[in-house]
Amino acid sequence: MNNVLYLVVPCYNEEAVLVQTAEALLDKYREMTASAQISPHSRILFVDDGSADATWQIITMLSGQYPAVMGLKLSRNRGHQNALFAGMMYAREHCDMMISIDADLQDDVEALSAFVEKYHEGCDIVYGVRSERKKDTFFKRATAQGFYRFMNLMGAETVYNHADYRLMSRRALEALSEYRETGLFLRGVVPLIGLRSDSVYYARRERAAGETKYPLKKMLNFALDGITSFSVKPLRLISVFGMLCSLLSVGGLLYALISYFFGYTVPGWTAITCSIWLLGGIQLLGIGVLGEYIGKIFSEVKQRPRYHIEAVVSHSQTETEKTKETENSTDRPLS
Ligand code: UDP
Ligand code: MG
């Protein structure tokens, strides 16, 4: 057994697209098993991230119909990154390699063979990089690209234009399981693992059906999480900014004194009001940044589990593991 591939597909309210996605993935699966690129023990693992629609029913139906399809149901919505992580940790115990792919068919299914080829060449991690994203709306494209640039500027190293379409070998998954942070940002954590890595390029498509589950608010949260989890640069910037302000204020003081001695006193109300606003703003910003990090410490020290698995379905058996904690169940108490 060294060709077992697990495809991990996080799904949140994806009833509109799921059947189409499963068909596309199954077609590719059949092609890859027929050419012996992957083992027939390979599986397509749909992770239901606490959907409120018929997503889980569809996954159950699909797994009853196709032996290659499996489902994992999280006990509630935990967000894309945690859903992915849950799937990855489940796959880790059964596979040789794992590829994560979104449920909306935006990532090119045909590229899967290229990932597996790289794995056979000896890579432990293969990043799917979007060579173009013409099909995204202007807004999505601009915000997403701004996001990558800003992240790198802020010191969180990520692979440019790579989202969560990636292959990881079992060894890389083992390494990933040792990262304990709760505010998970896989795009930042995975490059930290190291090991032999490469990229596969593909064109990003339009969502096959349904709506984006990443509205602007979620994207902003995601970016803030990424930056504050990976870099203390914002803290340092505040200090540098503070130093600059102090230097400037020495100049201002000299100017005020000289003006006073030469008798050019002016009413000065505007200048005072402006400086109060400006300094107040800078202070609040500084406190805000500090608060961000303290908030991080707050949520990390609790060491809460990232997810609970409510049920697992596969063609052969249906296990129901009510709120069974899969991860760190021995060393992390429920809090
Ligand atoms: N997703 C999830 N949990 C969430 C939000 C999204 O599992 O809370 C999944 C979603 O079903 C999809 C993937 O994450 O498979 C990416 O989401 P989406 O395609 O909506 O994001 P976009 O491509 O618009 O950034
Ligand atoms: Mg999408």
Domain boundaries, the chain: 5-230+306-326, 233-302
CA angle, residues 98, 102, 106, in degrees to nearest 5? 125
Number of helical H runs and strand E runs in the chain: 10, 9
Nearest CA-CA partner of 220 in 132, 164, 151: 151
Buried b / exposed e over 172-182, threshold 16 CB at 10 Å, is: bbebbeeeeee
Q: How far is it, in rounded angstroms, from Cα 303 to Cα 182?
A: 7
User: Ligand 1 mean position to 12 CA, how many Å?
Assistant: 6
CB-CB contact of 207 with 185 (8 Å): no
Nearest CA-CA partner of 203 in 97, 304, 109, 76: 109
User: Ligand 2 mean position to 251 CA, how many Å?
Assistant: 52
- Ligand 1 and 213: CB distance under 6 A: yes
pLDDT value at residue 1: 54
pLDDT value at residue 325: 43
Nearest atom of ligand 1 to the alpha carbon of 10: 7
pLDDT value at residue 168: 96
**Structure token pair of residue 316:** 């052969």
pLDDT value at residue 317: 59
pLDDT value at residue 247: 78
According to CATH, the topology of domain 5-230+306-326 is Spore Coat Polysaccharide Biosynthesis Protein SpsA; Chain A (3.90.550)
pLDDT along the chain (335 residues), means of 10: 89 93 94 91 94 94 93 92 94 94 91 93 93 74 79 78 91 91 84 89 82 80 79 77 78 77 68 74 79 79 79 69 41 36
Helix axes 216-230 and 138-153, enclosed angle (nearest 10): 10
- Ligand 1 and 79: CB distance under 6 A: yes
Q: How far is it, in rounded angstroms, from Cα 334 to Cα 159?
A: 34
- Ligand 1 and 130: CB distance under 6 A: no
User: Ligand 1 mean position to 103 CA, how many Å?
Assistant: 7
pLDDT value at residue 47: 96
pLDDT value at residue 270: 64
Phi, psi of 7 (to 5 degrees): -95, 120
pLDDT value at residue 83: 95
pLDDT value at residue 131: 82
